[in-house]
């Protein structure tokens, strides 16, 4: 063998190895799937061909070479047949092309029989550096064009499917098509020398490339979940290949260039050098490959972890609907590395689905009616729709294809709530890595979509609740005004009436001459007394209106300031105590002088006390006592509001802080009072709890952290 000829047997050996390993691998993944079986058969034919090919090129004995050349032809005869069968199954055309396949099988068996005669391979002759190149017989001359025809026809079938496919499937077929062209043109270089054309089989090794690409495509096509195994295998193959190269290359170089044609000893020397090299380099190569493997194989797992973490902590807790969908799209695109991503939400008012958040989708105002083919498919089947699924089915409806183009998605997942409604659709575009969505992806994405659906309907409910709450709050305000009005009327009209009365009395007394026996000094004194009273009464009236206005307009933002509990309770009692006294409720205050201030919003604290005191007062139906206590315990301020009312049954006490829970008659209470009170208490850093006994009364307990006094 000379130097250039070493490549050829080696290419055969590599082709044989590759086809055996990948053929077995693909078969092991699914032994009953016709696509896998035909691929394995195809690999088998290449393995037979390549093994004999290798043996044929390394032998020095003519008889062996002839036997081997007929051997490799035995494999080669079946390559086109299995190839076409495989392509046909891969493209789901096996039923349509059944007769053609049978015909080609028949043809191949005839060729196999012919291969036993000298009319196929006639003999051997030296060509270029090859000592024993086979001479084609007459049947070979028929075989070869058929072989070429089948190759071209197979490629044509792939091309046709490629043109009709979309999305990831198109990518996959692109692989197969390119692979086919590379593989067949590589393999074809074997046949020039048969006819004396001086082109050596220099591209033979490309057959391996083809097998590899097709294996990749078929496995991706069928077995999405074994991607990891594929990659691991590829890394293993890389390790094997590099080891092989290290062993072989130095040996060959030494052998061919340094020593020339040499004997066994020199080959051994070459091997020794390779051996030493391997001993030193192997660990590094292994580490390097392990690193690459780790990065390559487990990168995705980290991503999934990140995805889940981000979603549970950052995304799904968002209650603002707009922010929720935007964050979802951003995070999904970022973590899965998507070309595009979008969320369509159902608009209750308009009655259609609208694109509310998107990334990488040019068209921003995409609106789809529930009757839209895509939308109704998703809402009716409640299953996701991917390009993968479509290509398996018979035909993708044009309208869905159009929507897929508009929304730029490969995968659309309906967001289904527990109630079975579809508040939205999540669309995921092509991954930047060009990889398809695997079962692994779906295992993460589907539960994620379910959770997202819940989060979205929560956020929507929150918006609705906000609206109802605003409405209810308005009702509540009216109820408050009702409660207050009696007291307020009294508190305002009385002082005004008194002030007016004093002035009127003075003027009428003057007019009626009732003061005529008084001196002017006495009159001035009288007037002074009256004016003092008038000022006192107008102050009273002003005070109540001021309290009322500060009370009815709570600020929107929480203002944090030092709030004196005692003072705020007094303010609230000023508004309600009159009415309570009328209802025969005694108010007892037990607020220690040492009770520190709390950091809170003054108006909100007033709101809390007002609601609790009013609630307690309303619980008392006939005579009773309302006790307000406040004390300091360590760094906390505890306030108790205790009434001697009807109490709350044990089975209801859990619910009293729930929105819309009310024990009052319809129209009397909105049920939002305590729900809002709790929200406001918590917003101000406090806690609220309740204890109650039916027939004895109820006590609300408030706890706030005491304000830390700033040092002067």
Partner 1 sequence: MAGKKPRIVAIDDEADFISMLEDYFRLRGYEITTTSKAVHGIELISNNKPDVVILDLKMPGISGDEILGLLKSRQPKAKVIFITAFDDAGKTKARLLNAGAYAYLDKPVESLKKLEDVINAAYSGK
Q: Which residues on adjacent β-strands are paired with residue 343?
A: 357, 426
Q: What is the largest CA-CA distance in the chain?
A: 161
Is residue 319 close enough to count as binding partner 1 by CB under 8 A? no
Q: Which stretch binds partner 1 (CB under 8 A): 95-103, 293-301, 341-349, 504-512?
A: 504-512
Beta carbon nearer to partner 1, 259 or 496: 496
Both tokens of residue 647?
Answer: 């109490």
Q: Are 300 and 392 in contact, with CB atoms under 8 Å apart?
A: no
Report DSSP letters for 17-71, one per residue: HHHHHHHHHHHHH-SS-HHHHHHHHHHHHHHHHHHHHHHHHH---HHHHHHHHHH
Is residue 531 close enough to count as binding partner 1 by CB under 8 A? no
Site string for partner 1, 584-623 (x = CB under 8 A): x---------------------------------------
Query: How is residue 223 annotated by DSSP?
Result: -
Q: Work out how close the CB of 467 gets to partner 1 at its nearest, in angstroms, rounded to a whole number.
A: 32
List phi, psi (to 5°) of 414. -75, 140
Q: Which residues of 214-234 are buried (b: 16+ CB within 10 A; e: fewer)?
A: bbbbbbbbbbbebbeebeebe
* Binders in 482-501 for partner 1, by CB under 8 A: 486, 489-490, 493-498, 500-501
Is residue 527 close enough to count as binding partner 1 by CB under 8 A? no
Is residue 514 close enough to count as binding partner 1 by CB under 8 A? yes
Both tokens of residue 287?
Answer: 């580490």
Site string for partner 1, 413-452 (x = CB under 8 A): ----------------------------------------
Residues in the chain: 712
Q: How far apart are CA 553 and CA 602, in angstroms?
A: 12
Task: Let me know the angle formed at the C-alpha of 549 by 543 and 553, rounded to the nearest 5 degrees.
Answer: 155
Q: Work out how close the CB of 579 gets to partner 1 at its nearest, in angstroms, rounded to a whole number.
A: 9
Is residue 517 close enough to count as binding partner 1 by CB under 8 A? no
Q: Work out how close the CB of 514 gets to partner 1 at its nearest, in angstroms, rounded to a whole number.
A: 5
Is residue 508 close enough to count as binding partner 1 by CB under 8 A? yes
Is residue 502 close enough to count as binding partner 1 by CB under 8 A? yes
Q: Which stretch binds partner 1 (CB under 8 A): 111-119, 132-140, 351-359, 579-587?
A: 579-587
Residue 175: C-alpha distances to residues 218, 390, 409, 585 (Å): 10, 19, 21, 87
Secondary element (H or E) of residue 701: strand 697-705
Long-range contacts of 482-487 (CB under 8 A, 24+ apart): 483/576, 483/579, 483/614, 484/548, 484/575, 484/576, 484/579, 486/578, 486/579, 486/582, 487/575, 487/576, 487/577, 487/578, 487/579
Beta carbon nearer to partner 1, 529 or 694: 529
Residue among 641, 632, 631 nearest 681 (CA): 641
Beta carbon nearer to partner 1, 106 or 497: 497
Is residue 467 close enough to count as binding partner 1 by CB under 8 A? no
Q: Which stretch binds partner 1 (CB under 8 A): 255-263, 281-289, 336-344, 529-537?
A: 529-537
Q: Work out how close the CB of 376 gets to partner 1 at its nearest, in angstroms, rounded to a whole number.
A: 57
Count of residues engaged in binding partner 1, rule: CB under 8 A = 24
Q: Which stretch binds partner 1 (CB under 8 A): 26-34, 314-322, 532-540, 660-668?
A: 532-540
Q: Work out how close the CB of 501 gets to partner 1 at its nearest, in angstroms, rounded to a whole number.
A: 4
Beta carbon nearer to partner 1, 485 or 552: 485
Q: Work out how close the CB of 495 gets to partner 1 at its nearest, in angstroms, rounded to a whole number.
A: 8
Q: Work out how close the CB of 516 gets to partner 1 at its nearest, in angstroms, rounded to a whole number.
A: 12
Both tokens of residue 36?
Answer: 């896998």
* Neighbour count for residue 105 (Cβ, 10 Å): 15
* Binders in 615-674 for partner 1, by CB under 8 A: none
Q: Are 643 and 628 in contact, with CB atoms under 8 Å apart?
A: no
Is residue 481 close enough to count as binding partner 1 by CB under 8 A? no
Q: Work out how close the CB of 477 gets to partner 1 at its nearest, in angstroms, rounded to a whole number.
A: 20
Q: Work out how close the CB of 615 gets to partner 1 at its nearest, in angstroms, rounded to a whole number.
A: 22
Q: How far apart are CA 358 and CA 429, in angstroms?
A: 11
Q: Which residues on adjacent β-strands are paired with residue 426?
A: 343, 413
Beta carbon nearer to partner 1, 63 or 497: 497
SS3 672: coil
Q: Are 601 and 555 in contact, with CB atoms under 8 Å apart?
A: yes
Q: Work out how close the CB of 639 gets to partner 1 at its nearest, in angstroms, rounded to a whole number.
A: 26
Is residue 533 close enough to count as binding partner 1 by CB under 8 A? yes
Which residues contact partner 1 by CB under 8 A? 486, 489-490, 493-498, 500-502, 504-505, 508-509, 512, 514, 533, 536-537, 581-582, 584
């Amino acid at each position: 063998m000379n130097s250039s000829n070493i490549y050829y047997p080696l290419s055969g050996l590599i082709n044989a190895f590759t086809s055996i390993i990948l053929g077995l691998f693909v078969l092991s993944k699914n032994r009953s799937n016709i696509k896998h079986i035909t691929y394995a058969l195809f690999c088998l034919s290449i393995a037979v061909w390549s093994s004999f090919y290798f043996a044929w090129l390394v032998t020095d004995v003519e008889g062996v070479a002839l036997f081997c050349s007929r051997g490799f032809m035995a494999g080669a005869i079946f390559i086109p047949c299995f190839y076409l069968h495989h392509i046909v199954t891969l493209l789901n055309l096996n039923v349509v092309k059944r007769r053609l396949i049978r015909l080609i099988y028949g043809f191949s068996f005839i060729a196999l029989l012919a291969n036993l005669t000298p009319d196929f391979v006639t003999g051997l002759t030296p060509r270029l550096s090859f000592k024993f190149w086979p001479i084609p017989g007459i049947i070979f001359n028929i075989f070869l064009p058929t072989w070429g025809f089948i190759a071209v026809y197979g490629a044509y079938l792939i091309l046709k499917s490629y043109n009709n496919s979309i999305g990831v499937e198109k990518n996959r077929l692109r692989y197969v098509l390119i692979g086919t062209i590379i593989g067949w043109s590589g393999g074809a270089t074997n046949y020039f020398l048969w006819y004396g054309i001086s082109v050596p089989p220099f591209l033979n090794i490309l057959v391996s490339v083809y097998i590899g690409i097709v294996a990749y495509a078929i496995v991706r096509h069928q077995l999405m979940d074994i991607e990891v195994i594929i990659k691991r295998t590829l890394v293993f193959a890389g390790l094997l290949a590099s080891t092989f190269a290290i062993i072989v290359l130095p040996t060959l170089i030494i052998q061919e260039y340094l020593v020339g044609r040499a004997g066994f000893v020199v080959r051994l020397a070459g091997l020794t050098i390779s051996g030493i090299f391997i001993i030193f380099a192997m660990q590094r190569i292994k580490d390097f490959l392990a690193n690459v493997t780790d990065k390559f194989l487990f990168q995705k797992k980290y991503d999934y972890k990140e995805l889940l973490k981000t979603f549970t902590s950052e995304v799904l807790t968002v209650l603002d609907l707009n922010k929720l969908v935007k964050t979802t799209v951003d995070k999904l695109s970022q973590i899965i590395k998507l070309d595009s991503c979008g969320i369509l939400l159902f608009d209750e008012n308009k009655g259609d689905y609208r694109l509310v958040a998107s990334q990488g989708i040019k068209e921003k105002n995409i609106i789809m009616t529930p009757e839209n083919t895509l939308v109704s498919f998703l809402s009716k089947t409640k299953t996701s729709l991917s390009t993968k699924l479509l290509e398996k089915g018979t035909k993708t409806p044009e309208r869905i294809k159009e929507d897929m183009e508009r929304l730029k998605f490969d995968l659309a997942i309906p967001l289904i709530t527990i109630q079975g409604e579809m508040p939205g659709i999540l669309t995921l575009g092509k991954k930047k890595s060009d990889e398809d969505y695997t079962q692994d992806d779906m295992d993460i994405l589907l539960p994620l979509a379910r959770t997202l659906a819940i989060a979205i309907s929560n956020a929507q409910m929150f918006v609705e609740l906000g609206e109802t709450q605003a409405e209810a709050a308005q009702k509540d305000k009216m109820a408050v005004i009702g409660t207050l009005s009696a007291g307020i009327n009294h508190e305002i009209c009385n002082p005004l009436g008194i002030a007016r009365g004093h002035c009127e009395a003075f003027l009428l007394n003057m007019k009626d001459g009732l003061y005529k026996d008084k001196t002017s000094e006495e009159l001035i004194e009288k007037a002074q007394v009256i004016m003092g009273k008038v000022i006192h009464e107008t102050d009273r009236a002003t005070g109540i209106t001021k309290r009322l206005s500060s009370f009815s307009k709570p600020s929107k933002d929480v203002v944090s300031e030092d709030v004196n509990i005692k003072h705020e309770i007094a303010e609230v009692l000023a508004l309600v105590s009159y009415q309570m006294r009328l209802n025969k409720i005694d108010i007892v205050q037990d607020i220690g002088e040492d009770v520190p201030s709390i950091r809170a919003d003054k108006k909100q604290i007033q709101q809390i006390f007002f609601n609790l005191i009013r609630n307690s007062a309303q619980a008392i139906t006939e005579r009773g006592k309302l006790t307000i206590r406040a004390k300091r315990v360590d760094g906390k301020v505890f306030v108790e509001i205790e009434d001697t009312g009807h109490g709350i049954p044990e089975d209801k006490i859990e619910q009293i802080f729930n929105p819309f829970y009310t024990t009052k008659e319809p129209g009397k209470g909105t049920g939002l009072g305590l729900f809002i009170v709790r929200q406001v208490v918590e917003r101000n850093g406090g806690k609220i709890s309740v204890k109650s006994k039916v027939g004895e009364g109820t006590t609300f307990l408030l706890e706030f952290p005491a304000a830390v006094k700033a040092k002067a």
